[in-house]
Amino acid sequence: MSSKTIVVITGANTGIGLEAVKAFLGASNPYHIFMGARSPEKLDAAIQSLGDTGKHTIVPFQLDLFSDDSINEAYAKISAQVDYIDVLINNAGAATNLPPSREVLMQDFNVNVAGTYAVTDIFLPLLIKSSAPRLLFLTSGLSSLEEAGQSTSPRYMIPPAGWPKSKDTPQFLCYRVSKAALNMVMIDFQRILKNDNVKVWCISPGMLATNLGGNPELLKKLGAEDPAVGGIFIKDVVEGARDGDTGKVIQRGKIQPW
């Protein structure tokens, strides 16, 4: 076990999370991966789809970001098996493409901000025991305040005057707001963990054809890439490719504007 990099990744049964696991399984260095998901059945099916893991090892664990009990149980299970973890990847998230409301805002915030914070907070005692700890948060290109404030951005068209603007409501507003808040969570963990030598990032993987975005096939037609590129990006960051960009929101090949 000591020779393997120990990774905890949430939301790993599908999409970018599963692709990250696949990328780790293709790495030359051995990994011990704790794969988390809300549905044990879907997680088991995902693990079965991976086939022979070779020199790498995988351990499933159930995790529901809506539930503190679930988060505590996940920590108890993992801490009973290992004395430390090297990498925590906060990949699990929610994207509700509905008109903004208190209920919808709270739903996305509960997962993307509060739940993610709770997972990070409880797993930190294991993470800071690593000799090379890394903390990753999965954010989005839609979280950029700078781009959202540019009237020339094709993603944020200015609608005609009048109210209501039901047809012109910005898509995924609640998701975008929650991911912008997550970026602030990352900044604060970067600050408070500086003397613990934890490397911290927000990962903005780009427009990928995942179920999180709604319809993967439609997303592909709009130019979305294969989720595998996001998984490889995460693996590369874990293996040191972006160590010079800690404390930033990073995209492939560049830094995302705040």
Catalytic positions, written as ranges:
140, 175, 179
Q: What is the DSSP letter of 208?
A: B
DSSP state of 130: S
Calpha distance 218→191 (Å, rounded):
39
In what side-by-side order are the strands of the sheet with 249-251? 57-62, 31-37, 5-9, 87-90, 134-138, 199-203, 249-251, 254-255
CA distance 130 to 191: 18
| Distance in Å from the first CA to the final CA of the chain | 39
